[in-house]
Amino acid sequence: MHTIDFDLDREHVELNQLLKLVGLADSGGQGKAIVASGDVTVDGVVELRKTAKIRAGQIVRVGDAEIRVLGVEG
């Protein structure tokens, strides 16, 4: 598993956009398809809402990638 640290510069980011921003999806549309496939978990729970609000402190997993969402204060 490889870990990606994502620095969140606002209150939240939509899940499909997060996948695009960290390079796991080529587009927001592909991000939506990845979420719809059931392969994404947020804090250990499968997340099927494509535009779920992801906030600092949450852990998103897709396949062998773990995205740690960090706030601006680190």
CB-based contact 26:11 (threshold 8 Å): no
3-state secondary structure of 29: helix
Q: What is the pTM of this model?
A: 0.93
Query: What pLDDT tens digit does each residue of the chain (74 aa) get?
Result: 899 999 999 999 999 999 999 999 999 899 999 999 999 999 999 999 999 999 999 999 999 999 999 997 64
> Judging by DSSP bridges, how do beta strands 45-46 and 53-54 pair with one another?
unpaired
